[in-house]
């Protein structure tokens, strides 16, 4: 049984293609549907490969595990704070981070969408 199983779970809204919830100090992601293994592997590889270069959450599960567990990072999801007033600047900063990531050699960390 998972150590956080007895605590009330908090379903996170922005789980996109995964079922995402917060359990105490961890975020847990399950990947239903097609290409689940590839999506989970990409989300495992990105923080493990980028850890020395960017502030990314620690990964608490191992490669190949059915559920990806990462450390919970305090903050607010970008989708909740982007507004027409700040979107240009915020997205420009995202572009800078993407260029920095590309220059860092971590380009293969997340495969392109099919």
Is the pLDDT score of 40 beyond 80?
yes
Is the pLDDT score of 112 beyond 50?
no
Assigned domain for 4 exists: no
Output the domain CATH number for residue 79: 3.30.200
Assigned domain for 37 exists: yes
Average pLDDT on 82-97 reads 89
Which residue reads 């490669």 in tokens?
63
Query: Cα dihedral sign for 38, 18, 90, 114?
Result: positive
- The answer to whether the predicted template modeling score (pTM) of the entire model surpasses 0.75 is no
Return the pLDDT at 3. Answer: 43
Average pLDDT on 50-70 reads 86
* Confidence bin at 81 (pLDDT 50/70/90): confident
Domain that holds residue 22: 10-109
Return the pLDDT at 13. Answer: 57
Is the pLDDT score of 39 beyond 90?
no
Return the pLDDT at 77. Answer: 75
Neighbours of 97 (CB within 10 A): 10
User: Which of helix, strand or coil describes residue 21?
Assistant: strand
Is the pLDDT score of 109 beyond 70?
no
Domain count, the chain: 1
């Amino acid at each position: 049984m998972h150590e956080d199983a007895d605590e009330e779970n908090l379903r996170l809204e922005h789980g996109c293609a995964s079922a995402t919830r917060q359990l105490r100090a961890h975020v847990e992601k399950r990947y239903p549907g097609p290409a689940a293994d590839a999506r989970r592997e990409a989300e495992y590889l990105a923080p493990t490969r980028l850890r020395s270069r960017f502030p990314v959450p620690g990964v608490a599960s191992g490669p190949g595990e059915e559920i990806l567990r990462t450390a919970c990072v305090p903050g607010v999801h970008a989708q909740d704070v982007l507004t027409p007033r700040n979107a240009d600047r915020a997205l420009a900063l995202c572009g800078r981070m993407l260029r920095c990531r590309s220059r860092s050699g971590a380009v293969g960390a997340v495969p392109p969408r099919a």
